[in-house]
Structure 1
Amino acid sequence: MKQLFSALAVLMMLAVPAAHAKDNYISDELFTYMHSGPGTQFRIVGSVDAGTKVTVVDTNRNAGYTQVIDDRGRKGWVETKYVSNQPGLKVRVPALEEELKQVKEALSSAQGDAEAKTKGLIESLDQRNSQVKELERHTSELNQQLIDAQTEIRELRARIDTQKDDLLMRYFAYGGMVAGGGLLFGLILPHLIPRRKKRNNGWA
């Protein structure tokens, strides 16, 4: 009679609507047994490997068992402590590896972009440095031209001053010559002009 009630209970639990089913996972043990009912007294119908995705159909809190459907469509009861709503390592490790791969690719892409930007900045800096050097060279040439022009101006001023002094000396020399010639002419001229003889008017 007891076995009949147990069988009826199992049939009623198997008839739970699928709307209450949800995905869960077998925790990271090597495997766990599936029983035909919520307890070890029920026969073993199979085993479920760790990390296997299962669909929860029902839970018997008093017995500590949960009814699940595994990835092969088998229905049975496993201990609730082995059922988790988090994927096991079997699922998470590949996902983490894929995520790590994506992060590495993103990092590599970011590094490539950074290197390209750095290269562009270096090229721009080299171009600016070249322009600065060209401006410095041009400025140096202009400064040298300015120095040469100032030197030439000083030389021209010195020549002008020398010419002024020479011209002044010539004026003095010409003036002295004219003055000396006039004096000499004044001394010689009386001797060159014949004297007039006095007339004898007979009034002796």
Structure 2
Amino acid sequence: MGKKALLLAGLLISSFAFAETKYIDDTMYAPLRSGQGLEFRIVHKGIKSGTPVEHLQTNAESGYSLIRTPEGIEGWLPTRFLVNEPVARDKLNRMTQQYTALQQKFNDLQNEYNQVKGENSDLGGAREQLEKSNKELQLELSNIKRISENAIALDTRNRELRESNEKLKNEVELLSAENLRLKDSDERDKMLLGGGLVLLGVIIALIVPMFKREKKAGW
């Protein structure tokens, strides 16, 4: 008895170890029984079509397979209710979900593209504005440079004029001093001439009477 129990346990363990996933076929609900036949009690009223289950073992003679549901319930059902791949309806649902997800992703990418395109358009406008501002600044800098060059030239010319003015003032002062010197010299000459004439008059006044006396004495 103990050996049979160990053997049964080994078979169960080996069947669990090699369990594979199967799917309930297009049958709406497949009842799960405690044994391999309709006379055994139902342990699950019906497994929904497309439900993945663990396939534990198959009895080819009875046409039944032992499975375990996702809830952990074990039982037997006709092997014909099991398929290796999901049923077409589930495949369609999954494909529909995948399509919906891809469509959503496409819409997100389209929105992102439109947003980036709009940002690029805004950047293009900003770049044009910057280029315009840059040209205006360059023109203003050129004007400032030209004004600065004119200011430097005017300052240089102003210094030259000031220097010329100083030279002219010095020359005027020299001419004024020379004029004063000439005036003083002319006045001195006039004074000397006047003094000479006076002296000459005095001499003549002294000499003439002497000539008159000598003339009278000769007579």
Indicate conservation of the 8 Å contact 1:34/1:78, yes or no. Answer: yes
Asked if 1:195 corresponds to 2:205, the answer is yes
The amino acid across from 1:183 in the alignment is L
Output aligned runs, 1:7-156, within 5 Å.
33-38=25-30, 65-66=47-48, 77-79=49-51, 88-156=97-165
Q: 1:140 to 1:39 in 2, by over 3 A?
A: farther
Matched residues, number? 139
Q: Per-residue deviation at 1:129?
A: 2.4
Indicate conservation of the 8 Å contact 1:64/1:79, yes or no. Answer: no
Q: Per-residue deviation at 1:150?
A: 2.6
User: Which residue in 2 is equivalent to 1:173?
Assistant: 182
Judging by fraction of residues, say which structure has more helix.
2
Q: Per-residue deviation at 1:140?
A: 2.2
Q: 1:128 to 1:38 in 2, by over 3 A?
A: farther
Indicate conservation of the 8 Å contact 1:39/1:63, yes or no. Answer: yes
Q: Per-residue deviation at 1:181?
A: 3.0
RMSD over equivalenced CA pairs, Å: 3.5
Gaps of 5+ in 1: 1-30, 42-61, 67-76
Deviations 1:9-51 (A, max 9, x none): xxxxxxxxxxxxxxxxxxxxxx98422213699xxxxxxxxxx
Asked if 1:160 corresponds to 2:169, the answer is yes
Q: 1:32 to 1:160 in 2, by over 3 A?
A: farther
- Percent identity (aligned): 7
Deviations 1:88-122 (A, max 9, x none): 32321122122212211211111111121122122
The amino acid across from 1:155 in the alignment is S
Indicate conservation of the 8 Å contact 2:29/2:46, yes or no. Answer: no
TM-score, structure 2 as length reference: 0.52
Q: 1:32 to 1:88 in 2, by over 3 A?
A: farther
Gaps of 5+ in 2: 1-22, 34-43, 54-85, 214-219
